Structure 1
Amino acid sequence: MLHIVNGDSVGEKLKQGVVQGDILVWREVYSAGPIFANPAGEKERSLRARVLEDTLGIPTGEYTKGCKEQEQRLREFNTHDEVVLWFEHDLFDQSMLAYLLHWFKGQKLGNTKLSLLNIGEFPGIERFHGLGQLSSEQLKSLYGTWRPVGQKELELGSDLWQAYAAPDPLVMADLLEQRRTELAASALPFAYAAFQGHLSRLPSVRNGLGIVEQTTLQAVRGGASTPLELFSQVTDNLHVLGMGDLEFWKVLGALARGAHPLLIIDGADGSTDFRALPGFLNRQVALTELGAQVLAGSADRVAVQGMDEWYGGLHLLGHDIPWRWDSSNGMPVQV
């Protein structure tokens, strides 16, 4: 039996007698960087590796080596009688799950059974962020509760992944609306909220802030005054994204860099990577006057700062971008 899990913390706990079989930790951050229908292509991987190094600080060589090693283990799946996918409700996990279902759809499973454990809550945990919160004993209680993955789930997962990799966000928006009922009734009930959360990261029609930037500036205005406080508050409020610290530091840095910052981080100037500052987690953070204007909707973040960001397969670059998020309709709009 092979268990494919979403992180090292979960993987290590499963090894403590929780499950029988081998563990494969799928180390990817599909919620960041460029996404392609086939991310294992040479050109695609090279671009993705370069962007992840530039934005998240993940060394290119380390990333490429890790991808090749885990893909080799994945290709050996049919040496196991069953493969169990362990995932949770947020975008970090649902994008990973969509990719794996897309990949398995293209394989001949033969005698290997494919199963899925896909959860969004756990008894006794009020604010469930994910499987990493659970103890070994709590994880053990999930043993055998997974559901079989059939052709329906493989096709839904593959469609989600291909929509996520599309450079047109309306492909995903249309899929979510047209197949919302089907998703809710399947083994993928969290996909709608997760990928809707993904779309809400696009810059708003109101002020050019995506949901992460908007929530960050609101948290500063509300009294959060350090990167550590901001990370805690923003990821709690936007738990549907499953955002890790590397992703959040990238967002925070973008808001504070350049000639027109929306935030000021104590000790950092417009060109400094604040993560290199001693004790950066507890540095003071404050709104600039421009940041307050953007929050109020009297200035537009993209117009004043520009952007260089990937949202799945969509790359938004510069001050004049073609896509925005309309929160009133819950849809991306072309401008």
Structure 2
Amino acid sequence: MLHIVNGDAVAETLQQGVVQGELLVWREVYPEGPVFREAVEPSHRLVRAKYLEKAMGIPEEDFIRSSEAQELQLARFREYEDIVLWFEHDLFDQTMLSYLLHWFARQSLGQTRLHLLCIGDYPGVDLFRGLGQLSASQLKTLSGTWHAVEEDELKLGSAVWEAYTSPDPKDLQQLLREDTSALPFVKEAFGLHLSRYPSTDNGLGIIEQLTLEHIDSGICSPIELFRQTGNQLHGLGMGDLQYWHVLSSMCEGKSPLLKLEGAKAFPGFVQPSADFQASRLVMTEWGTRVLRGEDHVERCGIDRWYGGVHLHGRHAAWRWDVEAKALVDCRE
């Protein structure tokens, strides 16, 4: 039996006698950077590796080596009678799950049986952030509760991956208007993804908007901001490296929204230093103006990837209408 899991913390706990068989930790951050339908294409992998090193400090060579290794192990799936996918409700996991379902949908499974365990809560956990929160005894109660993956799940997972990696965001928005009940967490997770696009109000995505609001309310510690924003947007499954990249971007450019005081930079692929833990963020005069309604993209431009969509320039082609909860085509 092979268990494909969403993180090292889960794998380490499962190894404490929770399950039998081998483990494959799927290490990816599909909500960040350019994402391609054919992710295994070497040229596509290299583009992602270069982006993730620059944006999040993940060494290019390490990323490529890890990606190639996990793909090689995945390709050996016929060696196992049963494969179990362990995932959860948030965008971080739903992107991984859709990729794997897309991959398996194009394989001949033969005698291998594919199973899925995907949850959005756990009894007694008030704010369920993910499987990594659970103890060995808690995970043991989930062992064996997985179900056989059906054709409709493979079909929908494949469609979600293709829509997410499409350069046209209308593909994903249209898919989310259809019946996605075969994968019950898709609609909320990818709907939250769309809210990361620059808004029609001021050009900020939901993460940047909430960050400014929290700072305006008096929260200035980056670590506390990560906790507060992460809890409020737990449906993103956003990790600390992702959030440090957001904050770093907000501190850059000719008209930064924020200024970091007490530390030279945000952490990369390392633990936060002592000076960072004591640092604080201050909203700039421009940040205050944007929070009050001036448009950040019109003044500063944008260069950001949303799955397969690349927005760049001073006039974002797509905006998120907060009230309508829909993307707006600004080219029309």
Q: Same fold (TM over 0.5)?
A: yes
Equivalent residues of 2:262, 2:278 under 8 A apart: no
Quote the residue 1:90 is aligned against. Answer: 90
Deviation at 1:151, TM superposition (A): 1.1
Which whole-Å CA distance do the structure 1 matches of 2:46 and 2:190 have between them? 25
Equivalent of 1:221, from 216, 219, 224?
Answer: 216
Q: C-alpha separation between the residues in 1 aligned to 2:131 and 2:266? A: 30
1:281, 1:94 → 2: CA distance?
31
> Which residue identity is paired with 1:273?
A
Alpha-carbon shift at residue 153 of structure 1 (Å) = 0.5
Output the CA distance in 2 between the equivalents of 1:248 and 1:284.
Answer: 15
Q: What is the letter of the counterpart of residue 14 of structure 2?
A: L
Q: Supply the distance in 2 between the matched residues of 1:5 and 1:267 (Cα, whole angstroms).
A: 38
Taking only the aligned residue pairs, the percentage that are identical comes to: 50
**Could you tell me how far 1:57 is from its partner in structure 2?**
0.8
SS of residue paired to 1:275: coil
* Structure 2 partner of 1:17: 17
What's the offset of the Cα at 1:267? 4.2
Per-residue Cα deviation, 1:199-244 (whole angstroms, up to 9, x for no partner)? 1000001100000100111111111111101100000000010000
Q: In structure 2, what is the Cα distance between the partners aligned to 1:148 and 1:160?
A: 19
Aligned partner of 1:308: which letter? D
1:199 aligns with 2:194: yes
- Matches of 1:49 and 1:265 in 2, distance apart? 27
Structure 1 counterpart of 2:265:
273
Aligned-residue offset at 1:317: 1.5
Residues 1:260 and 2:255 aligned together: yes
Cα displacement (A) at 1:255: 0.7
Give the partner amino acid of 1:204: S
Match of 2:126 in 1: 126
Q: Structure 1 counterpart of 2:243, which letter? A: F
Q: Is the 8 A contact 1:265 1:286 kept in 2?
A: yes
Judge which range, 82-91 or 324-333, deviates more. Answer: 324-333
Q: What secondary structure sits across from 1:196 in the alignment? A: helix
Other-structure match for 1:46: 46
CA distance in 2, matches of 1:19, 1:131: 14
Larger mean CA deviation between 320-329 and 211-220 belongs to: 320-329
Structure 2 residue ranges without an equivalent (≥5): none
Q: Name the amino acid aligned to 1:307.
A: I
Q: Which amino acid aligns with 1:327?
A: V
Greater alpha carbon shift after TM alignment, 85-94 vs 251-260: 251-260
Equivalent residue in structure 1 for 2:279, among 249, 264, 283: 283
What is the deviation of 1:5?
0.2
- Find the residue that maps to 2:104 and give its secondary structure: helix
Aligned to 1:330: 325
Contact 1:228 1:282 in 2 (8 A): no
CA gap of 1:41–1:230, structure 2 versus 1, over 3 A, is same
Q: Could you say if the C-alpha distance between residues 154 and 126 of structure 1 is closer, same or farther in structure 2, counting changes exceeding 3 Å?
A: same
SS at match of 2:245: helix
* Distance in structure 1 (CA, Å) of the matches to 2:166 and 2:173: 11
Partner-residue secondary structure (3-state), 1:178: coil
Counterpart-to-counterpart distance in 1, 2:217 and 2:328: 30
Does 2:284 align with 1:292?
Answer: no
Deviations, residues 174-208 of structure 1 (Å, cap 9, x unaligned): 001022xxx22x2x101100000111000001100
- Secondary structure at the counterpart of residue 324 of structure 1: strand
Matched residue pairs, number? 326
Q: 1:82 to 1:274 in 2, by over 3 A?
A: closer
Q: 304-313 or 76-85: which moved more? A: 304-313
Deviation, structure 1 residue 304: 2.3
Q: C-alpha displacement at 1:273, in angstroms?
A: 3.4
How far apart, in 2, do the equivalents of 1:51 and 1:273 lie? 18
Q: Which stretch of structure 1 is more off in the superposition, 45-54 or 316-325?
A: 316-325
Conserved 8 A contact 2:266-2:276: yes
- Give the 5 Å matches for 1:1-335: 1-179=1-179, 183-184=180-181, 186=182, 188-267=183-262, 273-275=265-267, 279-297=275-293, 299-335=294-330
Give secondary structure in 2 for the equivalent of 1:285. Answer: strand
Unaligned runs of 5+ in 1: none
Deviation at 1:278, TM superposition (A): 5.2
Q: What's the CA shift string for 1:117-173, capped at 9, x where partnerless?
A: 000000000000000000000000001101110111000000000000011111101
8 Å Cα contact 1:31-1:92 kept in structure 2: yes
